[in-house]
Amino acid sequence: MQRLNFTLDEETIRLLDQLAQKYYHGNKSLTVRSALESLAVHAGHEGWSVGGYTGVVADERTQCHTCGEMHDKGNVLYRPVFQRGDGPRVLTHLPVEIWLECASCVERQVVA
Ligand SMILES: [Zn+2]
């Protein structure tokens, strides 16, 4: 994370306030991020693809994002690492939900 400092005119500040209040519970950082992601998509830039996985130990009973199978606390699951890119499974937005996959789903997707 990095703090950016830039100047906006009154009208833009009002618009940012309105959008933040209306859609993001007043969170302006999230509003700017969504605006940029939306712009990138409309400008024909790439989306987000899974570049790899990192193993995590489930700290509670967790459902696999892909197959829906439940896994007990203490099992190793895999969290996708997103990177800019394109491809058949590209996402236009980074997921906001918790996304963990079981080993067999990861293996299937790496092969596919
Ligand atoms: Zn699975």
pLDDT of residue 95: 86
Q: What are phi and psi of 99, to 5 degrees?
A: -125, 105
Instruction: In whole angstroms, give the CA distance from residue 92 to residue 98.
Output: 17
What is the model's pTM?
0.56
| Structure tokens given for 40 | 């990138």
Domain boundaries, the chain: 10-42, 47-111
Q: What are phi and psi of 101, to 5 degrees?
A: -115, 150
Ligand 1 (ion): residues with CB under 5 Å are: 64, 66-67, 102, 105
User: CB atoms < 10 A from the CB of 50, how many?
Assistant: 19
Flag whether pLDDT at 39 surpasses 80.
no
Residue 77: name the closest of 112, 107, 50, 51 by CA: 107
Ligand 1 center from residue 18 Cα (angstroms) = 40
Ligand 1 center from residue 86 Cα (angstroms) = 23
Ligand 1 center from residue 63 Cα (angstroms) = 8
* Amino acid found at 5: N
pLDDT of residue 42: 66
Ligand 1 center from residue 72 Cα (angstroms) = 13
